[in-house]
A and B are shown apart, each in its own frame.
Chain A
């Protein structure tokens, strides 16, 4: 249509409100740029951008509600059940005598080729697994601890039995494997006469060492409640009784913390005599 009707005049004052909103928006944008230019300040930047977009929003919303018709229009549905003859026509095209989908034999071999390709394409996914220690189960079961591995504190110092204080737990790590995710353990001094169950890793004058990783889902059991001899996991509040071989006493954990068998080496420092008494951390299918 070539004839253009004149622009409709809106209710009085509306255009002015929209203009003011857009101007406020521009002011917000400039404010943001200036704040940034002056060195940036997170709160101001946020407020300026919020003003800029809120101005835009208000202007557009007023425009959309007051200067153009709202509601009162209807559109028809064509319906979604296609007429049967239409379906038949489409089917006829697809199943014409020369139609590829009617050549069963060719399709079958094509399917075979595509399946083979699809399966072959899965092989490179194997590279996502590590190549060095192939079997994850062995990796999960074994830790850097072993016979003769010395216990280091978090600052990297070897530990004598008498360095383990009564009343706090000391984080310990295997020499040569301090960064390993499954190795963290803790040493703590208890009164042997309060043991209700012998520690699985044995003890040296009440000094016991257990894995630090919760047997529920692997968080470090960081909180030691000295009086009760319990350690608590901060993730889901499992607690373990150190007097009873670190068996779980409350919360969702089901297995005791594995112990670390220790001895005093010829140099006077604590060292392990083997790996943990069980795989540390969360359980898995092949865990004995």
Chain B
């Protein structure tokens, strides 16, 4: 076959096959929450693809241009080239509106996916050693994603985004000492300057995406190097990763996810209107739209601007205007806290160990409380960005809503945080596996007990949950066997009916034994001659129950496999059962 010959030819020159074999066998944990980062990644790819298309038609210039085209209300009108080209892109260029809207939706999904990804990393403690660096990279990407969303949103030079831009410029100007210099450095003059649109354009399409590409590469490289973390489970230790291999299973599933992201984004882009700039009209310094709400991911800043009282500070003839606090201080504190969290937590708990097993959110009640408090706080701010809409819907004065929100923004997060803390503590201490099973006794125990210890944590583990493999546990062993010219091994827990296969074959028995010793320190090894073991049952029990036969694919062992299967069929079961 041609491919075969090509592969051999490349390998003869670069000797890639050992690397490739190892890379293809990389293990991905089978848990949905590990897909969140991938959704972000694929939205970013969509952003690049659609964005490049848009650059062919968008004219990043503030110069006057007369619009001629099929949007009748504007035909013959003179606006900025940026605005006119956006309207042209939406009305007169085939597939232009589809791509424009898909680009905007992809941005919305991108930021949302990063945020949910961050929340999952936070609550499961995936940022702990050795992954702190990747957390820092991640927070930086979040900031860049927000920044790029904002510049993209502002470039079409429409009335709505012009207002947002003016507000941001005002927030920058509010910075003591250097504010107005910074604003002028960005704008090249006073707002609204002619330089602004081209500058935002080059930032949006080149600078920030280039940095994002570099950071995403670093992010993924670190994940490959450090391997994935994983949740607790049978046969999972701090020294291994259990799941599916990159090839074939994860390649197919990840491509499927990519296709899903594309499908959803194009469906949204085609069917759900977003940012119809032709309805807002071009930017004019003396005009405003109402109501004026920004994209959701900057809404928390807008909400904070609304809620913060009219307090200004005068220092020796100088002014610190009100927007400084909700704009600059809140944003700065938020991202500093995000950057600092892994180190703060390590400092508070004194936990300097590396962790590859993830926490369940309940395992760390303080983190749970702080996280829920922060999420509630930002949730209230986002709601506050719609105070005028709420007031109109409820038919109450907007200042009533404002005053209620000014109280809620402190009360709700505190309540939610304390509640989350108490529930997590009770769950951790008691026997309940889920919220519904909590008893009053659990809550009371939670209140009385002091300090956390690992002993209690072990006790809190649900009975069916595994423990760390230990040398004194009978029934647990590593089995090694020759398979043709190569060696394989597996972890076998006879009483639990659990067998986990090594992710790749190796050349010698010694290599196999070494790998097994790293993955399951302290577990006894035996060499078995064959017949080779049954197909791996895996974590996805239900999948296997439904599709027990799929295990056939393991199948360099096809013949023997068939034999075992006959036997199991005879037993009436349709798949290996763990319990």
Residues of A within 8 A of B (CB): 1, 5-6, 8-11, 36, 39-40, 42-47, 49-54, 56-61, 63-81, 125, 128-130, 136-137, 139-140, 154, 171, 173, 179-184, 212, 216-223, 233-238, 248, 250-255, 281-288
Which residues of B are found within 8 Å of A58, using beta-carbon distances? 256
A285 CA to B183 CA, complexed, in Å? 12
A235 to B294: give the CA distance in the assembly, Å: 10
Nearest residue (CB) in A for B169 is A218
7 extra A-B contacts, CB within 8 A, seeds A42-B95, A60-B252: A40-B94, A43-B270, A46-B271, A69-B553, A218-B169, A236-B302, A285-B180
CA distance A52 to B264 in the complex (A): 11
Q: Is the CB of A285 within 8 A of B176?
A: yes
With CB as the reference atom, state the residue of chain A lying closest to B183: A136
Task: Tell me the minimal C-beta distance from A28 to chain B in angstroms.
Answer: 9
Determine if B288 is an interface residue (Cβ-Cβ < 8 Å). Answer: yes
From A36, A43, A234, B271 is in contact (CB under 8 Å) with: A43
B336 at the interface (CB under 8 A from A): no
A97 to B100 CA separation, bound complex (whole angstroms): 60
A284 touches B321 (CB 8 A): yes
Q: Does B480 contact A (CB under 8 A)?
A: no
Contact B175–A285 (Cβ < 8 Å): yes
Chain B, Cβ-Cβ closest to A282: B170
- A residues near B257, Cβ cutoff 8 Å: 57
Residues of A within 8 A of B116 (CB): none
Interface flags for B185-224 (1: CB within 8 Å of A; 0: not) read 1101111110000000000000000000000000000000
- The 16 sampled A-B contact pairs (Cβ below 8 Å) are A1-B484, A36-B95, A45-B98, A49-B262, A54-B263, A59-B256, A65-B550, A73-B243, A75-B519, A77-B239, A136-B183, A173-B286, A179-B285, A181-B192, A182-B285, A216-B322
Q: Are A76 and B240 in contact (CB under 8 A)?
A: yes
Q: Which B residues touch A154, using CB under 8 A?
A: 286
CB neighbours (8 Å) of B305 from chain A are 216-217, 236, 252
A288 to B315, CA, bound (A): 11
Interface residue B130 (Cβ < 8 Å from any Cβ of A) = yes
B554 interfacial contact with A, CB 8 Å: yes
Chain B contacts of A128 at CB under 8 A?
A: 185-186, 188
Chain A: which residue is nearest B93 at the CB level? Answer: A40
Of B263, B310, B539, B550, which one neighbours A248 at CB under 8 angstroms?
A: B310
CB distance A11 to B553 under 8 Å? no
Q: Which of B120-128, B342-350, B430-438, B496-504 contacts A (4 or more CB under 8 A)?
A: B496-504
- Render B93-136 as a binary contact track against A, CB cut-off 8 A, 1 for contact: 01101100110000000000000000000000000001000000
The answer to whether B184 and A129 have CB atoms under 8 Å apart is yes
Contact yes or no, A235 B503, CB < 8 A: no
Set of chain B residues within 8 Å of A252, measured between Cβ atoms: 305-310, 322-323
Pick from A5, A216, A284: contact of B179, CB below 8 A.
A284
B154 CB-CB contact with A under 8 Å: no
Q: How far is the CA of A83 from the CA of B563 in the complex (A)?
A: 46
Q: Which of these, A71, A74, A237, contacts B543 with CB under 8 Å?
A: A71
The reply to whether A129 and B188 form a contact with Cβ atoms under 8 Å apart is yes
Residues from chain B with Cβ under 8 Å of A65 in the complex? 249, 253, 543, 547, 550
Contact B98 A46 (CB under 8 A): yes
Cα distance, A212 to B287, chains bound together (Å): 9
B387 within 8 A of A: yes
Is B573 part of the binding interface, using a Cβ–Cβ cutoff of 8 Å?
A: no
Chain A, Cβ-Cβ closest to B549: A11
Contacts of A43 in B (CB 8 A): 270-271
- Verify B292–A234 contact, CB threshold 8 A: yes
Q: Does B518 contact A (CB under 8 A)?
A: yes
**CB–CB A75/B287 < 8 A:** no
Tell me which of B175, B186, B499, B555 has the highest count of chain A C-beta atoms within 10 A of its own C-beta.
Answer: B555
Taking a contact as CB atoms under 8 Å apart, the answer to whether A222 and B288 are in contact is yes
By beta carbon, the residue of chain B nearest A12 is B549
Q: Is B388 in contact with chain A by the CB < 8 A criterion?
A: yes
Partner of A73, one of B264, B271, B484, B501: B501
The reply to whether B287 and A220 contact each other, CB–CB distance below 8 Å, is yes
Of A5, A53, A75, A221, which is within 8 A of B262 by CB? Answer: A53
Which residues of the other chain, B, contact A1 by a CB distance below 8 angstroms? Answer: 484-485
CB distance from A91 to the nearest CB of B (A): 20
> Within the complex, what minimum Cβ distance (angstroms) separates A255 from chain B?
7
Q: Are A250 and B503 in contact (CB under 8 A)?
A: no
Bound together, the chains give a CA A74 to CA B493 distance in angstroms of 14
Is B147 at the interface (CB under 8 A from chain A)? Answer: no
* A74:B549 contact, CB within 8 angstroms: no
* A61 to B163 Cα, complex, angstroms: 44
Distance A43 CA – B271 CA, assembled complex (angstroms)? 5
Which residues of B sit under 8 angstroms from A212, Cβ to Cβ?
286
Cα separation A221 to B540 with both chains bound (whole Å) = 59
Residues in A neighbouring B536, C-beta threshold 8 A: 69, 71-73
Q: Name the distance in Å between A101's Cβ and chain B's nearest Cβ.
A: 23
Contact between A67 and B387, CB atoms less than 8 A apart: no
Tell me, yes or no, whether B416 is within 8 Å of chain A by CB: no
Contact A45 B95 (CB under 8 A): yes
Q: Quick check: is B570 within 8 A (CB to CB) of the other chain?
A: no
Which residue among B238, B291, B354, B550 has the maximum number of chain A CB atoms within 10 Å of its CB? B550
B280 in the interface, Cβ–Cβ < 8 Å? no
Which chain B residues border A219 with CB–CB below 8 Å? 163, 166-167, 288, 292
Q: Are B550 and A42 within 8 A (Cβ)?
A: no
**Cβ of B181 under 8 Å from chain A:** yes
Contact A69 B535 (CB under 8 A): yes
Closest 10 CB pairs of A and B: A46-B270, A71-B538, A72-B536, A64-B252, A283-B321, A72-B538, A282-B170, A57-B259, A76-B519, A234-B290
Residue of B nearest to A40 (CB): B94
Cα A129 to Cα B307 with chains together (Å): 33
Whether A139 contacts B240 in the complex (CB less than 8 A), given A50-B267, A50-B270, comes out as no
B550 touches A66 (CB 8 A): yes
Quick check: is B52 within 8 A (CB to CB) of the other chain?
no
- CA of A71 to CA of B543, assembled, Å: 10
Residue of B176, B249, B504 touching A70 (CB-CB under 8 A):
B249
**B284: min CB distance to chain A, Å:** 9
